[in-house]
Amino acid sequence: MEELKFKIIADSKGVDATMKSVARSTDGVARSGDGANSSLKNLIKTFIGVGTGARSAEGAFKSLARLGTAGIITAAAAETLNKFGEAIKENAQNFYETNKSLAEAFDQGLKSTSVEQADSALKSVSDRLEKIREDELKFSPMKAMLKIAEKLTGQDFGTKNLERSKKLAQEERDALEEVVATRIKERDISEGTTGSVKGIERAQKANKIEAARLVMMGKVKNEQVLLAQEEADTATLLVGIYENQLAQLNKLNDGQRNQKLYQEAIDKLADSRLQKEQSLLNLQKAQRAEGAKSTQAQKQFGGELLGASASGRLALESAQKQRAREVKQENFRAQEAYFEKKAKAESERRIKAGLSGGVTAGDIKMQEAERLAAASAPTIAEQVQAQAEGISPEQVAIGNVLQKQAIRLGYQAPKEETRDAWKGELSKTMQTMVDTLNKLMSAPLVTSGAGGS
Amino acid sequence: MVSDAVIVNHKEFKQALDLYLRLSKKTMADAINEKMVNVAFKSAQFTEPTGPKSTASAKIRAEIIGLPITKDSGVKRHGDTKFVGAYKLMNWQRKNSGLVPRGNKFGKRSAKGRLRKFISHRAKSAKWIRIGWSQAAQAFGKKFTRGKFDEALNKRLGGGIPAKPASIVEAEIFNNAGRYDVRYKPAKPRTPSGAMVVGKPGLMKGIQAEIKNMYVYIIPRLVKDWYGIKGKIKLA
């Protein structure tokens, strides 16, 4: 790319044509206006078509207007008006087409995803603006006259159409220039990010090679941890880069931003964060595996060393015995403390529930033992119930034992009603049978005692 | 591609050119070529010289001296830290150029001297920018009267595309000075260019001067045509 450039693009066709027509008109008016009054001389000046001459030209037309409509359509002015009328017709036809194409180009620019697309939209709007300016150039000699004519006839010749289109095109061009600038910034950001990512990946490869070399040379043993560490470092750096990219994109104007690129940046950041989490997890796993491996190796190594001599073996055995004693004592103390604590809590619970306290550690041990025993040998009924409910027989057995214990300890009332329910039903049935028999038989049936009729 | 340094269809320049075209009897291509050469000459003229005492050098010096001093591996620096930024910058450049970095062994007095040399190297760009504009003018058939340089080098530094008679007339001048970053070996393209800082204001001043030049031609003729008054004007 060139660093500093100055460029001019001009359409000679339009300007030359305008110049020719202006020159011709000027000649004609000048010839016919030799003996005319000062107003017609002023008319000549308007054909030069320079903005600074507009004031005097307007004055000239105003003085012509005083003569009336017939006064304007005289001499060279008639020719000019005809030309202007044709041009106005053409202008009115082109007005809506121009606006439509402008809108399309602008829309294309806003939706663009690359610098080239935005640039082409800008170029198309700029070209359209140039065209509008050329049209304006064509009309400028006659604009003041047309305004007077609009005033006299009360008709709209569309003098403001060009101005409206021009204003719109200028606004759109300014907006698209900003869009192009945004696209360039976006491109720089994404190129910078891509470059950084590539650099990191390259560095990662180099580090992996270096790690493999160190392992080969025997300087490093924990290769997996080294590689996992490398992965984790790279993932962390990538997260930083993508966070930076998103922060830079966030600084751009929301309306002009390339939404696709923005969404991609968000996705990449999310992915990189996940990757980082995964790599950190892998690192932890590798470290743990390495730790276990080294402990095992130490154990084996120590065992081998001690096993090599009689005194070593003796030392190992005595140490193992001492350890076993210690473990036993420690376990005893631990279980005592556990059951004492539980008994105390149970006593408090009973007192709170309005029952008698004084639960001992032995009671708690008994309860635990009952549960364990039940769980180790469930009954057939419990197995059937477990199958029906979809749970394990051990659970059912423990549940039953718990219920029994609750009843025994007074937390729960025994289910007497259900147990005696059949008795009521049976006595009712028996009474019915006795009544029926009494009805059937002449003599009442005596259900108790001995003897007969 | 549109960038900050590419100026296409400068608005005021084009307005003045339109008026100039109407009043002069030249064709559009001839007029544009003439104006482009003038812009190249004037841009070279208005490019600010960068010697050891120039404002550009002062800017570079202020930037280097004011470089932030960060902590190195958690150890805070004590004592005179004025040239620490400069050491780092110079070491960085030595490393890029394939030389061995000197660490912080420049010494206080030596650092001042080395920094002066370093800045003078950086501040040479204005000369190259002017050569670029001379090549732009040469592409339009005009030569600068002073200065002799290697031809191949000159072609690399700048150039232009003259306008030809056609329905769409296009002309451009460009300056490639500062396109390559010579702090690296081999040199690589650099964006944005450091030459922009010195070159772009020069180009803008050149364009403005040529606009004024055109109005000096235009205004007396309009005044004569409209009011019949002859005379010359001088713009400030």
Whether pLDDT at A66 is above 50: no
A6 and B174: CB-CB below 8 Å? yes
Q: Does A187 touch chain B (CB under 8 A)?
A: no
Q: How far apart are CA B131 and CA B192, in angstroms?
A: 20
- pLDDT category of residue B30 using cuts at 50, 70 and 90: very high
From the list A2, A9, A11, the residue facing B174 with the nearest CB is A2
Structure confidence by residue, pLDDT tens digits, B128-142: 888 889 899 999 988
> B58 vs A7, which has greater pLDDT?
A7
User: B88 pLDDT exceeds 90?
Assistant: no
In angstroms, the separation between the Cα of residue B228 and the nearest Cα of chain A is 12
pLDDT in tens, A246-280: 888 888 877 778 888 888 899 999 999 999 999 99
- Pairing of the two strands B6-8 and A4-11: parallel
3-state SS class at B189:
strand
Q: Give the model confidence (pLDDT) of A356-409 as tens digits.
A: 878 888 989 998 999 999 999 999 998 998 888 888 999 999 999 998 888 888
Is residue B227 predicted with pLDDT exceeding 70?
no
Handedness of CA A62, A67, A71, A76 (dihedral sign): negative
Q: Name residue A179's amino acid.
A: V
The percent of residues in chain B predicted with pLDDT above 90, rounded, is 15
- Taking an 8 Å cut-off on Cβ atoms, the answer to whether A15 and B1 are in contact is no
- Kindly identify which residue of chain B lies nearest to residue A116, measuring between CA atoms: B1
Residues of chain A neighbouring B22 (CB-CB closer than 8 A): 19, 48-50
The model carries a pTM of 0.36
Determine the pLDDT at residue A143.
67
Nearest CB to A8; choose among B1, B32, B178: B32
pLDDT at B36 over 90: yes
pLDDT of residue B12 exceeding 70, the answer is yes
B13–A8 CB contact, under 8 Å: yes
Distance CA(A277)–CA(A269), nearest Å, equals 12
A6 → closest Cβ in B21, B29, B203: B203
Say yes or no for a CB contact (<8 Å) between B195 and A4.
yes
A42 CB neighbours in chain B (<8 A) are: none
Average pLDDT over residues B175-191: 75
Contacts of A122 in chain B (CB under 8 A): 2
Nearest CA in chain A to B158: A2
For chain A, what percent of residues have pLDDT higher than 70?
69
Arithmetic mean of pLDDT, B86-107: 77
How close, in Å, is residue A54 to chain B by CA atoms? 11
List the single residue in B28, B176, B222 with the smallest CB-CB distance to A2: B176
A184 near B CB under 8 A: yes
From the list A4, A116, A122, the residue facing B5 with the nearest CB is A4
Q: Work out the average pLDDT over B89-97.
A: 81
**Which chain B residues have a beta carbon less than 8 Å from that of A5?**
5-7, 172-175
Q: For the packed helices A54-65 and A115-153, what is the interaxial angle rounded to 10 degrees? A: 30
Report which of residues A2 and A231 the model is more confident about. A231
Nearest CA in chain A to B180: A3
B5 vs A: CB within 8 A: yes
pLDDT at A38: 42
B1 touches chain A (CB under 8 A): yes
φ, ψ for residue B7 (rounded to 5)? -110, 110
Residues of B with Cβ-Cβ distance to A52 under 8 angstroms: 222
Confidence of residue A96 (pLDDT cuts 50, 70, 90): low
Candidates A1, A2, A3, A178: best to mutate against B (most CBs of B within 10 A) is: A3
**How far away is chain A from the Cα of B44, in angstroms, using its nearest Cα?**
12
To the nearest whole number, what is the mean pLDDT of chain A? 75
Which of A5, A13, A45 is the closest to B5 by Cβ? A5
SS (H, E, C) A32-94: HCCCCCHHHHHHHHHHHCCHHHHHHHHHHHHHHHCCCHHHHCCHHHHHHHHHHHHHHHHHHHH
pLDDT band at B160 (very low <50, low <70, confident <90, very high): very high
User: Residue A59's pLDDT is what?
Assistant: 44
Average pLDDT of the segment spanning B33-52: 88
Between chains, do B22 and A5 touch, taking CB under 8 Å as contact? no
B182 has pLDDT over 60: yes
A57 band by pLDDT with thresholds 50, 70 and 90: very low
Write the residue in B29, B172, B189 that is nearest to A7 by C-beta. Answer: B172
* Cβ separation A6–B36 shorter than 8 A: yes
Residue of A nearest to B30 (CA): A12
* A19 contacts in chain B (CB < 8 Å): 21-22
A310 to chain B, any CB pair closer than 8 A? The answer is no
CB A415 within 8 A of CB A400: no
Q: What angle do CA A276, A280, A283 make, to 5 degrees?
A: 140
Complex ipTM value: 0.74
**Contact between chains at B199 and A3 (C-beta distance less than 8 A):** yes
- Put simply, the answer to whether A3 touches B5 (Cβ < 8 Å) is yes
Distance from CA of A185 to the nearest CA of B (A): 10
Judge whether B225 is closer than 8 Å to chain A, CB to CB. yes
Residue B173 in contact with partner chain A when CB distance is under 8 A: yes
At A314, list the tokens.
Answer: 């003796």
- Answer yes or no: do A7 and B169 touch at CB < 8 A: no
Residue A124 to residue B169: CA distance in whole angstroms: 17
Report CB contact under 8 Å: B22, A119.
Answer: no
Please give the average per-residue pLDDT across B131-154, as a whole number: 81
Q: Does A417 have pLDDT greater than 90?
A: no
Q: What is the CA radius of gyration of chain A?
A: 52
Q: Is B176 on the interface with A (CB under 8 A)?
A: yes
HEC profile of chain A: CCCEEEEEEEEHHHHHHHHHHHHHHHHHHHHHCCCCCHHHHHHHHHHHCCHHHHHHHHHHHHHHHCCCHHHHCCHHHHHHHHHHHHHHHHHHHHHHHHHHHHHHHHHHHHHCCCHHHHHHHHHHHHHHHHHHHHHHHHHHHHHHHHHHHHHHHCCCCCHHHHHHHHHHHHHHHHHHHHHHHHHHHHHHHHHHHHHHHHHHHHHHHHHHHHHHHHHHHCCCCCHHHHHHHHHHHHHHHHHHHHHHHHHHHHHCCCCCCCHHHHHHHHHHHHHHHHHHHHHHHHHHHHHHHHHHHHHHHHHHHHHHHHHCCHHHHHHHHHHHHHHHHHHHHHHHHHHHHHHHHHHHHHHHHHHHCCCCCCCCHHHHHHHHHHHHHHHHCCCHHHHHHHHHHCCCHHHHHHHHHHHHHHHHHCCCCCCHHHHHHHHHHHHHHHHHHHHHHHHHCCCCCCCCCCCCC
Tell me the pLDDT tens digit for each residue of A129-166.
Answer: 888 887 777 666 666 666 666 665 556 666 677 777 88
